[in-house]
Amino acid sequence: MRGVHAIVVIPCYNEEKRFDRDAFRRFRLEGHRVELCFVDDGSRDGTRGVLESLAAEDPERFSLVALERNSGKGEAVRRGIVAAAERRPDCFGFWDADLATPLSELPAFMSILDSRPETDMVYGARVRLLGREISRRPARHYVGRIGATLISSSLGLAVYDTQCGAKLFRNTAAIRDVFAKPFLSRWIFDVEIIARYVKANGRDAAAKAIYELPLKIWRDMPGSKVMSIDFLHALRDLWKIHRTYHLDQ
């Protein structure tokens, strides 16, 4: 794989106590230029100070987008992606700050974009297969499978896991358009990314452009901000997305 310039957006909200700065410091990919763009989503603890310190320590590898008020993960990701796209990297994406998906998985995402020119989006998928370390609480797994079935039906695409927080996108005009405007949903903006692509390019094009990559490692990290009530919010937002983007056509 040739040298790739990738920018990975890391949305952060009140992450001071569980932010593993050493894990981010250690991550390097020989032969590639990988930058990490942290987005502080109006944190009320010391997160911003931690991120400012990291960005000042190595500005060639780390950058910071600071939002003055909490706008939700979707908007934090979108703002980070817009900032990243302006740097004209080969690809950009986003990754959860808790590193439930370790950064060691990123090269596999990059390899998919490199070897499959028809692919514009690589979505990490938490699939429990022999030889892989996918550790997820049973209750969240089963609720997730119900949600995934509803999402797949709504989109009209056989997607397995839209909600894994590890994704990489090719820097194309079609992808930049997806992130051009704020999302309707604070809860399942990952689904809305696909819905926007379907609306603009067609379902067949979306099926060719999306690649779901089974992860080798994913761990359910303590301190998750996802709560049971969020499933109801997600159902409401799925209906809004379906209706707004005319996915039944």
Amino acid letter for position 223: G
- Kindly report the CATH number assigned to the domain that includes residue 104: 3.90.550.10
Q: Examine the pLDDT at 120 and tell me if it is beyond 80.
A: yes
The residues, any chain, with a CB within 8 Å of residue 216's CB and separated by 6 or more, are 105, 108, 132, 133
Predicted local confidence at residue 221, as pLDDT: 84
pLDDT at position 171 is 98
Residue 237, token pair as written in the block: 């937002």
Is there a domain that residue 249 lies in? no
Q: What is the pLDDT of residue 232?
A: 77
| Total domains present in the chain | 1
Query: How much of the chain exceeds pLDDT 90, in percent?
Result: 82
Inside any domain, residue 175:
yes
- How many angstroms separate the CA atoms of 112 and 41, rounded? 30
Per-residue model confidence as pLDDT tens digits over 163-215: 999 999 999 999 999 999 999 998 899 999 999 999 999 999 999 999 999 99
Of the listed ranges 88-97, 102-111, 205-214, 238-247, the least confidently predicted one is: 238-247
Backbone torsions φ then ψ of 93, nearest 5 degrees: -165, -165
What is the number of H-type helices and E-type strands within the chain? 9, 9
What does the alpha-carbon distance between residue 159 and residue 152 come to, in Å, rounded to a whole number? Answer: 5
Containing domain of residue 189, as a range? 5-244
Instruction: Judge whether 81 lies within some domain.
Output: yes
69-105 core/surface letters (b: 16 or more CB in 10 A; e: else): eebbbbbbbbbbbebbbeeebbbbbbbbbbbbbbbeb
Residue 245 has pLDDT above 60, yes or no: yes
Angle at 120 between CA 116 and CA 121, to 5 degrees: 105
For residues 197 and 90, give the distance between their C-alpha atoms in angstroms, rounded to a whole number: 19
What's the confidence (pLDDT) of residue 226?
55
- 3-state helix vs strand vs coil in the chain, percent to 5: 40, 20, 40
Is 182 part of any domain?
yes
pTM attached to this predicted model: 0.93
Classify residue 11: in a domain, yes or no: yes
Please tell me the predicted confidence (pLDDT) of residue 227.
52
Contacts of 90 (CB under 8 A, 6+ apart): 4, 5, 6, 113, 170, 171
Cross-strand partners of 170: 91
Instruction: Give the model confidence (pLDDT) of 34-62 as tens digits.
Output: 999 999 999 999 999 999 999 999 999 99
